[in-house]
Amino acid sequence: MDAKEERAIGVRGHLIRTVGMSEVAFRVYDAEHNFVDYEITNHDCEVVIIDPDAALIRNQAGDFLDYTAESMKPQ
């Protein structure tokens, strides 16, 4: 396959854990719900969190990007 490069600025995707849960990838969906998982090799890529259920949590166990407590309550 020939190499294809396109600028990533403005591309919307998801940070996901891979199957083994040891790596993080950037998943991009197309209009038909197909996706590509990109291995992250960029060492200093700025991201903006837009998920309303995301929270930055600091406690004795460490610092985490996780779900808000409110979003985890049973509905």
Q: How confident is the model over 19-74, as pLDDT tens digits?
A: 876 789 999 999 999 999 999 999 999 999 999 999 999 999 999 999 999 998 98
In a domain, residue 7? The reply is no
In a domain, residue 2? The reply is no
The number of helix segments (H) and strand segments (E) in the chain equals 0, 5
In a domain, residue 6? The reply is no
In a domain, residue 9? The reply is no
Instruction: Tell me what pLDDT residue 19 has.
Output: 80
In a domain, residue 3? The reply is no
Domain that holds residue 68: 14-72
In a domain, residue 8? The reply is no
Q: How many structural domains compose the chain?
A: 1
Question: In 3D, which of 49, 51, 27 has the Cα closest to residue 40?
Answer: 27
In a domain, residue 36? The reply is yes
The answer to whether 67 touches 53, Cβ cutoff 8 Å, is yes
The answer to whether 25 touches 38, Cβ cutoff 8 Å, is yes
Q: What type of residue sits at position 11?
A: V
Instruction: Tell me what pLDDT residue 20 has.
Output: 74
